[in-house]
Each structure stands twice: as C-alpha cells, then as structure tokens.
Amino acid sequence: MRGTTVPPGTPCRPPRAGELPMHRLELPAPDAVPFAVGTFDTIGPLSRADFPHRHTFHELVHVTGGTGKHVVDLARWPLRPPHLGVITAGQVHHWAGVRGLTGHVVLFTDDFLLDYPADRDRLRRLGERPWLELDARADADVTRLVTELEAEYRRGADSVVRALLHVLVVRVGRLPGTPEAPPARAGAVAAEFARLTGRADLGLWSVRAHAERIGVTPEQLTEAVKAATGRTAAQLVREARIREAQRFLLRTDLTVRQVASRVGFADPAYFCRFFRRETGSSPGDFRRAGEKHHD
C-alpha cells in the first residue's frame, strides 16, 4: 500500500500541529515484502516507543519479560508476561515505564495479507481486545510459530512466511478472551466496512460515504453489517468518531473546537452534545479525567 513503507533510516514525518506521529514500516529494498520480524533489540528503539503514535502497519507483540505498562488507545495494560499484543494499523499505542522488555515483534502491512484476505477482519476483531495473557501452552505455541516465522524470513521464504503468519493469526483468534468471529453469512461487504472504519482517515465517513466507497446502497451496507456484528453501520461509525475524538483529547493539545473539526463536526456545540450522549461526559470532563488518570 502506497505510503505505508519506507527505506531503512528514513526519519518519521514531522506530525502536523495536534497530530500524532505516524510510523511506517522500514524495508531493506523497494521490492522487499512488507514484513519484518525480530526481537525488540533487532527491530530497533521505535519498537519500545514511550510516546503515543500510530502505525501504517499491523503489529503482533510477543512479550516474554519486563515490567511496566502497554497503553493501547485508552486502555493501560500492566505487563505480567507472557503476553500477546495485537496493534492494528491506525491504533494509538505506547509503552509506559517499561523496564527489561524482552520478546519478539512481527510487523506487516495489509498488502502482505493478500493471500489470506480474511485475516484482515480477524486482526481488526483482535484489535478490540489487544492484550492477552498467555498460559504455558499458548505461550509455547506462540513461541514456536514466531521462531519459525523468523527463521523462514531470514531464508527469504516469503510464501512460507505468509502461511505461518496466517496460522499465527488464526491461532491467536482461538485464544480465550478474543472476540468471537461474526456469523458465517456475513460477507465481503461487512468485512470491507470493518476495514474502512478501522482506518483513522476513513473511519469518520458517513454511512452513505462508506456505502458508495464499497459499491452498495446504505440499506445493503446496514443489512450486511447488522448480520455480521449485531449492530448497525451507523452505530459503528459513531463509535469510530468517538474513538478518534478520545484519542485527540487525551494525546494532543488540540482545543475542543479543533477536535470537533478533525472528527467531522462543523459545529463544536453539536459535537459536545454528541460526545456527551455517546460517552456520558463532556469532552472537557473526559480530557481532565484522562489527564488525572495518567499523571
């Protein structure tokens, strides 16, 4: 996907005022597959970044040691290794007060999933529960798969790497605590809608705009999404807007008026009413409570 990868050593683009840094996947050559795997040390210091940021790629994190917390969007997860973390493209995360962090990181873009397109939807469902504690059996299974992934990646066996990544994503989806898969009748329309709403730049569109992008009517989109998730497309669009507004309120110094504009509201007063209706608090109260919690 254009703009999701860069050559090694490319500095991060300076974020615009009020924006969060966006990290892109470093590749050794222009024709290299958009995938990387290694330890925190071999991947580099950005794998332990202690400031809120987004990725253009997906990240699976297998933590085997360390103390501190991993923060994904609004949730702070204490480290009690072993863990398996799932950070999808566009999510905001960082490490807080971490010491002695060990383990492996698996990085890849949507383009690397072309052989297994259903894995995109699996990853976005896993992103709803991004931090899992592993029992001994699950940890051994993840360790074996990540070790094989790294070995095949070093050999340049791209097709084997794709297959092993698919197995890893499917196995993670079977772990206790992961969201259940949608009903089998949910088709490509609902999956594409989930992909679009998971992107920070597209998730704020209206239901009609999403339907036009996918090539269906709003009614068809709503029916497909309802069958797959039990919720309406409008509900999920509202959730995407609230999630993005919360990220801006907690992670930037944008004013409430500026946040309203960033998430698609021309009228700040209407945004405040919408935010209170959906969350139970005003944007200002939410920001103050978040600042107090993170002090």
Torsional sign, CA 244, 90, 200, 257: positive
Residue 182 lies in a domain: no
Q: In this structure, are 209 and 156 located in the same domain?
A: no
Say whether both 32 and 121 belong to one domain: yes
- What pTM, to 2 d.p., does this model score? 0.69
Per-residue pLDDT reduced to its tens digit, 182-226: 544 445 777 777 777 776 655 567 888 887 777 777 887 888 888
The reply to whether 193 and 147 lie within a common domain is: no
Tell me if 158 is assigned to some domain. yes
For residue 153, give its domain range: 5-173
> In terms of domains, do 36 and 168 share one?
yes
Q: What does the pLDDT look like over 38-77, one tens digit per residue? A: 999 999 999 999 999 999 899 999 999 999 999 998 789 9
Half-sphere exposure for 208 (CA within 13 Å, toward CB) = 0
Together in a domain, 207 and 288? yes
Answer yes or no: do 193 and 273 share one domain. Answer: yes
- Considering the domain architecture, whether residues 228 and 141 belong to the same structural domain is answered as no
Per-residue pLDDT, 196: 73
Q: Kindly report the CATH number assigned to the domain that includes residue 138.
A: 2.60.120.280
**CA 264 – CA 19 distance, rounded (Å):** 15
- Cβ(13)–Cβ(55) below 8 Å: no
150 and 46 co-located in one domain: yes
Three-state helix/strand/coil letters over 101-167: EEEEEEEECHHHHCCCCHHHHHHHHHCCCCEEECCHHHHHHHHHHHHHHHHHHHHCCHHHHHHHHHH
Paired with 22 in beta bridges are 54
Q: Is residue 179 in a domain?
A: no
Domain count for the chain, please give it. Answer: 2
Spatial separation of the C-alpha atoms in residues 106 and 62, rounded to whole Å: 8
pLDDT score recorded for residue 13: 67
Same-domain pairing of 106 and 31 = yes
Q: What is residue 184's predicted lDDT score, i.e. its pLDDT?
A: 41
Q: Residue 181 falls within a domain, yes or no? A: no
Beta carbons of 246 and 204 less than 8 angstroms apart = no
Domain contains 16 = yes
Provide the pLDDT for residue 183.
Answer: 46
The residue among 173, 197, 220 that closes a domain is 173
Q: For the chain, which ranges sit under pLDDT 50?
A: 1-2, 183-186, 295
